[in-house]
Amino acid sequence: EAGVAQSPRYKIIEKRQSVAFWCNPISGHATLYWYQQILGQGPKLLIQFQNNGVVDDSQLPKDRFSAERLKGVDSTLKIQPAKLEDSAVYLCASSLAPGQWGNYGYTFGSGTRLTVV
């Protein structure tokens, strides 16, 4: 089966600019996650969707970050305006449903590496 697709692979922007990342999960996976991974740290969950509804966005900096999953399939994560500390890898992951992780946890995409200068 096709994996989790993410684009772009790399992005360099200046601070105060805006940027958007796209994710297409595995077909049939109802739950989609966005993680932020700062260099040298483990991934941190930003937002979790169940179909097209938000389940958990407690760690999303809502003054500058937004995310949507309008049709319950692919998702977009946006940052506006970007700050230097937003430089990180943004990972998208999907699973069948919350609590039904099976033996494989989530399936991750290759990530988008964002550099804010």
Binding residue for another protein, selected from 43, 60, 86, 88, defined by CB under 8 A? 43
DSSP helix/strand/coil, 9:
coil
CB of 67 to another protein, least distance (A): 15
Contact between 72 and 87 (Cβ < 8 Å): no
Task: Give CA–CA dist 49/28, Å, rounded.
Answer: 14
Window contacting another protein (CB under 8 A); options: 13-21, 64-72, 74-82, 101-109: 101-109
Nearest to 94 by CA among 77, 104, 108: 108
Binding site for another protein (CB under 8 A): 33, 40-45, 48, 56, 89, 91, 93, 98-99, 101, 103-111, 113
